[in-house]
Amino acid sequence: MSDIPDETTFGEVVDLFCGVGSLSHGLKRAGFNILAGYDIDARCKYAFETNNHARFFVHDIADLTAKEVSAHFTGEGYSILAGCAPCQPFSTYRHRYKKEDPKWSLVGVFGRLAAEIQSDFVTMENVPALVKYEGGKVFDDFCDALQNAGYLIEWTIAKCEQFGIPQRRRRLVLIAAKHARPGSLKPHGEKTPTVRRAIGHLNPIKAGMSDPDDPLHMSASLTDINLTRIRESKQGGTWRDWPEAMRAECHKRNTGKTYAGVYGRMSWDEPSPTMTTQCFRFGSGRFGHPDQDRAISLREAALLQSFPKDYEFLPGGERHSFVEIGRWIGNAVPVRLAEEIGSLIAGMKTVQAPLERANAGL
């Protein structure tokens, strides 16, 4: 794709399955130039372009060609192909209840494109369950496609709270390089980030209300019974703390007794649970605010995903949808994790050229 760039140039990124641009934004914060993003959801265009100053293309990745992607790279610095294929097919829930999902093939599409494009780097982020999905075949085939195309690969399961992200989230991070063996992400060893540090500064709001100065700081309304339940809930507690009469019918069945975290409050001084596409719903997980009687707001969910507070999801004046923005936030790559990936790639500038010469016998 490009020769080994000197240390004064910036790398260039094309982002597949880009969504609202969180992976790109983290790479941008690490110093890379975002050229383009591709996604099938046209509604992501505003957020991707506004926050990353790059072109957004509405396109089914399954129909994308290597020639279309390669045309974006100018040769000014490293070329990086980045992406996060839809991860729902590999989730524990989907794997248990829905054995076949056509989206799994998008990982293979990504691998094929990467092999054909021959960018200097490829990075993929996904759920850890991908490694074992279908007996490991999907992930192994992806790695084989890259290795057969001349890439060296390093992958790890990152614990997000070890990288400054105030959330207990596990993510598969893969980095492939053409010119050197890539490094792996190293935890910082810093003090564990907390919910308090992430959202404790926001104005208090009530269930069903929003902050007049920040339309994204909006909380879903609660039914009377759920308002009563959250008032009975303790930080880090469970629905078992409630009086028997308040418990949901599903909790009384054997299949529901093990799901203690649903209808729970977060703890101020711990990381949050994993943000999901339903993180704005009190009954969908431990998504109750630590001390306000409501579920977390969309802004709080975004901050827990390490989006900057000024990240724009929709144009000013446009109505915010819990379902739509919740899906964008829950599916996002944590921005801080993406920045760590970018910093790791950027740090390889000092070792690639010597290794390339050594491999050539010079």
In angstroms, what CA-CA distances link 69 with 64, 115, 144, 232? 8, 12, 21, 54
Q: What angle do CA 277, 282, 288 make, to 5 degrees?
A: 105
Q: Is the dihedral of CA 181, 127, 58, 146 positive or negative?
A: positive
Q: Are 60 and 42 in contact (CB under 8 A)?
A: no
Distance CA 308, CA 252 (A): 41
Give the residue carrying structure tokens 């500038």: 349
Task: Return the exposure string of 234-261: e unless at least 16 CB atoms fall within 10 Å of the residue's CB, then b.
Answer: ebebbbeebeeebebeebeeeeeeeeee
Which ranges constitute the DSSP H helices of the chain?
A: 22-29, 45-52, 66-70, 92-97, 105-117, 137-148, 195-199, 224-231, 249-252, 298-304, 322-331, 335-346, 349-359
**Distance from the Cα of residue 278 to its chain's centroid:** 15
Instruction: Name every residue whose Cβ is closer than 8 Å to that of residue 141 and which is 6 or more positions away in sequence.
Output: 107, 108, 111
Distance CA 348, CA 361 (A): 20
Q: Are 15 and 38 in contact (CB under 8 A)?
A: yes
Q: Is 87 a catalytic residue?
A: yes
Helix axes 22-29, 45-52, angle to 10 degrees: 0
Out of 18, 87, 160, 279, pick the active-site residue: 87
Helix (H) or strand (E) segment spanning residue 79? strand 79-83
Distance CA 171, CA 192 (A): 17
Helix (H) or strand (E) segment spanning residue 37? strand 33-39
Q: Give the number of C-alpha atoms closer than 13 A to the C-alpha of residue 201, restricted to the C-beta side.
A: 6
| Catalytic residue annotation | 87
